[in-house]
Amino acid sequence: MTQSIPPSARAEHPTAVQRYMDHVNPAFIQLLGTFGFGRVFVRAEGMKLWDDQGREYLDFLAGFGAVNLGHNPTELATSLTRALDDKHPNIMHVGPQVWAGELGAALAERFPKLPVALFSCSGGEAVEAAMKLARAATKRPGIVYARGGFHGTGLGNLSVMGFSRWQKPFRPLVPDCHEVPFGDLEALKAVLKKRKVAGVLLEPIQGEAGVLMPPGAYLAGVQALCRKYGALFMLDEVQTGLARTGRLCSYQHESDLDPDVVILGKSLGGSLIPISATLTRMEIQKKAYGSVFKFDLHGSTLSGNALGCRVALETLRLIDAWELGERARTRGEQLQAGLEARLSGHPLVRAVRGQGLLVGLELGPTGSNWVQRLAPRLVKLLSRQVLGQWLSVRLLERGLLTQPASQQWDVLKLTPPLTVSAAEIDTLVDAIGDILDEYRDLTPLVLDVTKRLGDQKKSGWLFR
């Protein structure tokens, strides 16, 4: 059944908006229209995006941190074309997958202690591969995860989802998954002590929870507890990995960390081909799948396909050749220092934090005026639900694409391609500073939001 979208939106974008509305996700289109975030992006190159009106944007969202090399890099396109020209079988399951072996070897060079890779097509699948691996290798049922953790949206993933809103409609979930507070070693120990836990799954930095950094020595403490009680120490580097935080993986900032499983996704296929990997030790892989009766207990038809593996190989080469770790470190420091300096003392800015080019700007009133004293819950609700999206829309109008963390809307999460230039970082910092200079109090900001919602409603929730 054709759903009706507002006539104004239909007039502007007769095809893309209506078709998406009718055949993919109507509520999403509604939400974009409500916020005034409606744009149809049609071209992408490097750091830049263009919409169907020909307007140019700098992309500080980069596919939720999946476009580390920038959009459509020529080198990756060339490697794809070369791969297609070769006529190598793309999907092959009755012999060794030649390019999966090559990619496995390239990953092993970079992660010598984790020389085996289980390939999949998405971050979520790679997390499920880790959960299965842990259970099969340890013969224990339990998986421990942290409150605020985000690991994908499959049914297994939701069982380790640190946000109950996402779990609720899908219960009952996979049993024996236990939530602990992020950063709390005592709570973790209490669960691990029962020796029924197969693995502990954590993000080294919780991205969707608002770029939450682990307390000092937390990850090392988790590792020690895992070793003591026989659980696998599993790090989800889907968002933090592939040079985003300044090292190939975020855990490598700490020299004593030695995880049993590392999960890569998002940027592994250079944002062109979906591919992800679950890296582990040979003995763990063997315990789980190391016999002719078990070798096929994990996999999928499309996993390890040649095109994905070749693009991933080229992605790894470019991360090194372009020194993306170093660039993420330098630009990340510039971004954090720039935001801190420009927004220092701003009454609606609570914190700037992050690592490399995974940076969070936490918004919300820092002081207490009469409105906050009179209606603290309302102020909290407004801050949570409105501030980040409002700033995002204001930035979009200046040609800068950003979004708040998906589970924490008062934190603007900045994850540009790692190729971003110093001047582009300055542009973002100046724009955020300029916008927030106009609003040093929640009241005018709420009035602006209300006016915008009214204008959007009047316009028929227009895509602009």
Ligand X SMILES: Cc1ncc(COP(=O)(O)O)c(C=O)c1O
Q: Is 204 in the site for ligand X (CB under 6 A)?
A: no
Q: 167 or 372, CB closer to ligand X?
A: 167
Q: Is 151 in the site for ligand X (CB under 6 A)?
A: yes
Q: Is 250 in the site for ligand X (CB under 6 A)?
A: no
Question: Which parts of 327-356 interact with ligand X (CB under 6 A)?
Answer: none
Q: 383 or 403, CB closer to ligand X?
A: 403
Contact region for ligand X (CB under 6 A) — 163-171, 233-241, 337-345, 452-460?
233-241
Question: Buried (b) or exposed (e) across 156-175, using 16+ Cβ within 10 A?
Answer: bbbbbbbbeeebeeeeeebe
- Least separation in angstroms between CB 219 and ligand X: 15
- Least separation in angstroms between CB 440 and ligand X: 33
Q: Which tokens go with 361?
A: 């700007």
Q: 211 or 352, CB closer to ligand X?
A: 211
Question: CA-based angle 26:414:393, to the nearest 5?
Answer: 50
Q: 4 or 300, CB closer to ligand X?
A: 300
Among 142, 148, 152, 204, binds ligand X (CB under 6 A): 152
- Least separation in angstroms between CB 356 and ligand X: 15
Chain Cα centroid distance, residue 148: 13
What amino acid is encoded at 41 in this protein? Answer: F
Contact region for ligand X (CB under 6 A) — 104-112, 147-155, 348-356, 359-367?
147-155
- Pairs from 185-193 (Cβ < 8 Å, separation ≥ 24): 185/218, 185/221, 185/222, 185/225, 188/144, 188/222, 188/225, 189/225, 191/142, 191/144, 192/144, 192/225, 192/226, 192/228, 192/229, 192/231, 193/229
Among positive and negative, which fits the CA dihedral 174, 177, 179, 183?
A: negative
Q: 148 or 365, CB closer to ligand X?
A: 148
- Least separation in angstroms between CB 206 and ligand X: 8
341: nearest Cα among 438, 426, 441, 422: 426
Q: What is the DSSP string of 202-223?
A: E-SSBTTTTSBPPPTTHHHHHH
DSSP-derived secondary structure letter, 97: -
Mutual angle of helices 324-343 and 422-438, in 10-degree steps: 20
> Are 302 and 145 a contacting pair, CB within 8 Å?
no
Chain Cα centroid distance, residue 336: 19
* Paired strand residues for 197: 142
- Least separation in angstroms between CB 118 and ligand X: 15
3-state DSSP assignment of residue 232: strand
Question: Which parts of 12-71 interact with ligand X (CB under 6 A)?
Answer: 64
Among 207, 259, 404, 416, binds ligand X (CB under 6 A): 207
Q: 260 or 424, CB closer to ligand X?
A: 260
Q: 138 or 276, CB closer to ligand X?
A: 276
Q: Is 119 in the site for ligand X (CB under 6 A)?
A: no
For the chain, the straight-line distance linking the first and the last C-alpha, in angstroms and rounded, comes to 26
Q: Is 239 in the site for ligand X (CB under 6 A)?
A: yes
Q: Is 271 in the site for ligand X (CB under 6 A)?
A: no
- Least separation in angstroms between CB 66 and ligand X: 8
Contact region for ligand X (CB under 6 A) — 235-243, 246-254, 363-371, 436-444?
235-243
- What is the size of the binding site for ligand X (CB under 6 A)? 15
Q: Which tokens go with 181?
A: 């507070």
User: For 140-262, where are the alpha helices, taking DSSP H only?
Assistant: 155-159, 164-167, 185-192, 218-229
Query: Of how many residues is the chain composed?
Result: 464
- Least separation in angstroms between CB 209 and ligand X: 10
- Least separation in angstroms between CB 30 and ligand X: 22
Q: Is 163 in the site for ligand X (CB under 6 A)?
A: no
Give me the residue whose beta carbon is nearest to ligand X: 123
Q: Is 128 in the site for ligand X (CB under 6 A)?
A: no
- Give the binding site for ligand X (CB under 6 A): 64, 122-124, 127, 150-152, 203, 207-208, 236, 238-239, 265
